[in-house]
Chains A and B, each alone.
Chain A
Amino acid sequence: MTAQDNTPAAETTARTSDGIRDILRSGAVFILLAALMIGFTLAQPAFISINNLMSILQAVSVVAILGAGVTVTLAVGGFDLSIGAVAASSVMAASYFMIVWGLGAAATVVLVLALGAAIGLLNALLIVRLKVPDLLATLAMMFLLTGLQLIPTAGRSISPGLILPDGSTATGKYDPLFLTIGRSSLGGIVPLPVILMAIVAIALYVLTERTRIGRLLFATGGNELATRLAGGPTDRLKTLAYVISGTLASLGGIVVAARVGRGDVSSGGSLLMDAVAASLIGFAVLGLRRPNVFGTLVGAVFVGVLLNGLTMLNAPYYTQDFVKGAVLVGALALTYGIARKA
């Protein structure tokens, strides 16, 4: 919001060279994205097909949903490292609820989201009440959850016919309605996870950039003392941020579970890193140099386009993490170094 508000004033004073630099700074990610898409299309015309574009969006939807949560915690000056573990635990929990407890889709979704919110609340308790530094608190929570999700099944992945630790066999199965969350698409074109991603992105964009809650969230991250002295309930705002982040992470886990249709102990391995990368790449979008939900979405899509295109050009899968890392390093260099205001 601030950057947009500043533009008219900036334009009046800036000379043309500054104007060009401004455009480069705020548009660099978009220009690169367009260049990538043109390049990939020239090399492999199938790239630009609707089906492929939708599969890119589907592939990034979970990362974007988690990234939006990270963005909110970054806005309050915190950092949620537990989201990957929350998402993985949610995959396990959703599978457990349906296969072991025999619950239906609706009850499972509600319970899993509540679980994510509760973990967010627990994070907030550690950070706000016990004053544990955010990185340490959420790192510890990540550790705890990674271990906890193995205990109910004695370390086994969850699929129908699971043999429980007490020797009995689970009788439930995945609710077909639940699977539609991950596997159906609107009009046969837009996958449901993409629609979920869009709803989350729009809702959080409006929340962070257009509402007074958003203003106060950023104020807490910008200057907590000043916000408190202005009457802002900083503790409650931070709690809200972690609850949002935990809930979104569990939503991401639901989408993953609904796609793969089983509770895999190794699911969600790279989600944390990818989501964090998306929100950090987002700093470079529009040259804002701060967490912002729109940037996070663009960051996730950018990485998705790059990976998809490279895969089409037969780049081996093991180069993926390297590519993501390179994009992140480049985006951060752009944000903090090259595009720095003079």
Chain B
Amino acid sequence: MRKYRLGCSLAIALCGGLLAGCEYQETAQYVVQVAGSSTVSPVSSAVAEEADKVLGIKATVETTGTGPGMERLSRKECDISGASRPIKEKELEKCRQNGFEPIEFEICIDGLTVAVHPENTWCNCLTIEQLKKLWEFNSSVQKWSDLDPSWPNEDIKLFGPDHDSGTFDYFIEAVIGDVPEEQSPCRTDYTQSVNDTTLVDGVKGSKYSLGYFGFAYYLLNQQDLKALGIAKSADGSDCVVPTRETIGAGDYVPLSRPLFIYVNKESLLTKPEVAKFVDYYLNAGQSEVGEVGYIELPSERIDKARETLKQTLAERRN
């Protein structure tokens, strides 16, 4: 066994050295880690690009969907998580268990857009009642004529986000409301995708289709899509079509929603790059919001987010 002795001791020394090592002093700049919703990630990556060009702060953006993004945040695998719905109690609990508080910042407004094919001439407006009838669990609606007898007797092809998506959660809450835990929140016989572009392409592809996704995806594909107006009352008299104006003015209800970023408080206080990045996000970065296709927050709401940041950072100095 003598000939193995040298090899073995070398191997053990190497493993030991790896584990013991020297503690590494981070000299390079910290890279801000962003994850989360595919609805928010276009904004985050636009801000990351400008922050890199203007301030030289590096950030990576990982598009995961709101749910998995929150999971990464709670595991401290990212500093910032984009969300298209408010954080859930369960997720908040998990973050606290891991010893930090997530801080919520509202960043912009999105209008969930229900879109159909541009050649769809019969339908311009749906009531919330009709939407609920269309999407609820075990829905009996298969054809357009099931929604309104004067509409064509053709199958509706449905496209919607999958269950990881915050867009899905928000839509279900706004349209269908509370559902029992053990039952699927909505019908299951439709094309689900985590990628909004897949939904856009699906709606583009058939005259009898219908789908819902973020406003930006409608805005940049306007020539191939038609957005439906949404009416709160049952007779459809108060129909509102999503536009920048109606969403910004708060008229497009209940499908307009705020988008959020959740920031790990610990990183915000200990890593100056994260603080600078969030600061940029809420100030100069706000000009990217409109360009990407979302609607800027009214000034009092963005001021509230800036105030939250200021107060949190004040803790650092104490």
* B is a partner of A: no
Residues in chain A within 8 A of chain B (CB atoms)? none
